[in-house]
Amino acid sequence: MNELNYQMDLLKAMNQKLTAKEKMYTMICEASNCAYLYFSFEKNQIVTIGRWREFFDFDIADIKDVNRVFDEMEEEYTVPLRDVIFLEKSGKGISAMECKHKDGKGWYSFRTTVDYDNLGNPQDKLIVVENTTRIKTQHEELIYMAHYDTMTSLYNRNYFVTLLHDYMKKAERERSVISVMVIDIDDFKKVNDGMGMLAGDELLQLFGAFIKELTRENVFACHLNNDVYCIAIYDPSIDCNVEQIHKMIRRRIADEFVLSNKQSVKISVSIGVAEYPEAASTPLELINCAEIVMYRCKSAGKNMMKYFDASILNDFLKNIELDNKLREAAFHNNFELYYQPQFYTGNKKLRGMEALIRWKDEDNNMISPNVFIPIAEKNGCIIPIGDWVIEESIRTFAGWREKYKTSGILSINISAVQYNKTDFVDSLLLVIRKYHVDPGMIEIEITESVLIEDFDNVIDKLKILRSHGVRVSLDDFGTGFSSLSYLKKLPIDTLKIDKSFIDTVLSDSATRIITESIINMVKSLGIESIAEGVEEQAQYDYLHAIGCDMIQGYLLGKPQTAEEIEGLLNG
């Protein structure tokens, strides 16, 4: 009896232990956010635990009921899912796959594990089901971010380069051609500045959506950066080539883009085109070649398309070389100042001189200011170069004043970039005071490009300078955005008539009428006039007759070194 009681107690204890483990396993399964289906082949017993009823609205009482799971998934997944769930038919131990629920419940992951006995007969099977929608969505988002530009939904730069690389390999095998178009929205900064960045972003989206409409088989596009897009055409044909796409772009931009706030934006684009294998052998080189041509379009007037050729690349490389040399020269102040005399027209007496920068590169080649000044303005070197010109010219002029006791005016050209510096006025006045020069003997020459950025700020600075006695001259009048309305608002002392007028003033009646009108008008405003580029006696006689105050040019004085100017002052 005692032995029986002992066996009963032992069995009870073991049963309690199993019940505790079963409870523990059940809790673990329910905490795992998965659904589990267990099937015993030996007992023909099936159990669902965990979150089964959260995933499926039916119970599984028999292994045949598993077929209901297939009905829950989209049809394309039915056959492979059947192979996973009935894994024992293949004799494999583990198999898994993801399926999409047909009722929009997301993605389910199925993982089946089967245990076999020594003879290979299935003993137990466990099917684990997990809702992987969140993970799948995150994965898809990561893939999207890796491939697409979030602003325009076009390919991003990196994936575009990858695709272009693959197509170039294909083109190499098939001896085909790839055309790449780099498209830039002209003057996009004006949209951002004038309408705000949100409007600018919306314009980028609208234009990007249009570019996406141009894509098709063998035509793909990307948002390269900011306001620049890129289109690649594999094996261009009569129906789909650069010219065809260019026509479609021009037709679209002929109409305005209407923003969500009902504002309308009219744009133009500059397009550079390069082709593989003619222009380059790698994706980045090919894009770069097209980009070089695009910038050539912008510098040539914008709103056009050009094709890449070797001469463009050579010019670009020369500019890069020149840029590097200029940076080096700016760092070491490897420049020289020449001075061109200015004379009163009536008596031909010396009025003063204009400081003109000259640069010989390390190979002793003279580089024209018309070439290197625009480069200096782009790369920022114009600031140290301009500071050096002001310092050196005023220092030299102060020495002449001290040595020769002569009166006269020193004219100094000021770049728009230099003038727009916040400390420009203070810096100039500091140099003038440093060399004890009368501010009334210093004249800064500004061009009309200075007026474009911020007219009111320009006026304020000019007024401060003139209040200290510094003279102001408007240079190259008539060559840029000339407006007679400027003259009545600008606090200037002198207006310089550009050489292009003087060159034709004797041969063209229209030029004569304009020139005479300018001189009469500025005289009535109390502004002096000076004509640039006077090279012939007949030009001088005409300018003298119509009342031009001063002349400057090769007729009476070419640009000279400081030593040569000293000879003129000493004479």
Domains contained in the chain, number: 3
d(CA 340, CA 568): 11
Provide the pLDDT for residue 43.
87
Q: 247 lies in which domain range?
A: 149-308
**Residue 353 backbone zone (phi > 0: left; psi -120 to 50: alpha; other: beta):** beta
Q: Are residues 170 and 126 in the same domain?
A: no
CATH number for the domain spanning 270: value is 3.30.70.270
Inform me whether the pLDDT recorded for 561 exceeds 90: yes
How far apart (Å, rounded) are the C-alpha atoms in residues 348 and 557?
Answer: 11
111 and 177 assigned to the same domain: no
* Inside any domain, residue 2: no
Kindly report which listed range (90-104, 278-292, 400-414, 482-496) carries the lowest average pLDDT score: 482-496
Residues 263 and 395 placed together within one structural domain of the fold: no
91 in a structural domain: yes
**pLDDT at residue 568 is higher than 50:** yes
Domain co-membership, 32 together with 102: yes
pLDDT of 517 above 60: yes
Q: Distances in Å between the alpha carbon of 466 and those of 75, 212, 274, 491, 512?
A: 84, 55, 52, 8, 32
Residue 319 has what pLDDT?
80
Q: Where are the alpha helices (DSSP H) in 214-309?
A: 242-253, 283-299
377 part of a folded domain: no
Q: From 136, 163, 191, give the residue that closes a domain.
A: 136
With a cut of 70, say whether residue 17 has pLDDT above it.
Answer: no
Let me know if residue 3 belongs to a domain: no
pLDDT tens, 390-423? 999 999 999 999 998 888 999 999 998 999 899 9
The backbone torsions φ and ψ at residue 79, rounded to the nearest 5 degrees and listed phi first, read -65, -50
Residue 479 has pLDDT above 70, yes or no: no
**What's the whole-number average pLDDT of the chain?**
87
Higher pLDDT: 10 or 131? It is 131
Shared domain check, 438 and 403: yes
Does 3 score more than 60 pLDDT? no
Task: Kindly state the average pLDDT of the residues 218-229.
Answer: 93
What gap in Å lies between CA 36 and CA 49, rounded to an integer? Answer: 5
pLDDT digits (tens, 9 = 90+) for 233-246: 999 887 789 999 99
Q: Are residues 85 and 229 in the same domain?
A: no
- Mark which of 78, 108, 136 sits at the end of a domain: 136
375 lies in some domain: no
Domain co-membership, 119 together with 245: no
Which CATH number belongs to the domain containing residue 406 in this structure?
A: 3.20.20.450
Same domain, 200 and 55: no
Q: For the domain that residue 50 is a member of, what is the CATH number?
A: 3.30.450.20
| pLDDT 10s digits, 268-307 | 999 999 999 998 889 999 999 999 999 989 988 899 999 9
519 and 445 inside one domain:
yes
User: What's the pLDDT score for residue 562?
Assistant: 93
Q: What is the mean pLDDT of residues 174-187?
A: 94
pLDDT tops 90 at residue 193: no
**CA 567 to chain CA mean position, Å:** 52
Task: Report yes or no on 365 lying in a domain.
Answer: no
Is 533 within a domain?
yes
pLDDT of residue 56: 86
- How much is the pLDDT for 18? 43
Q: Is residue 376 part of a domain?
A: no
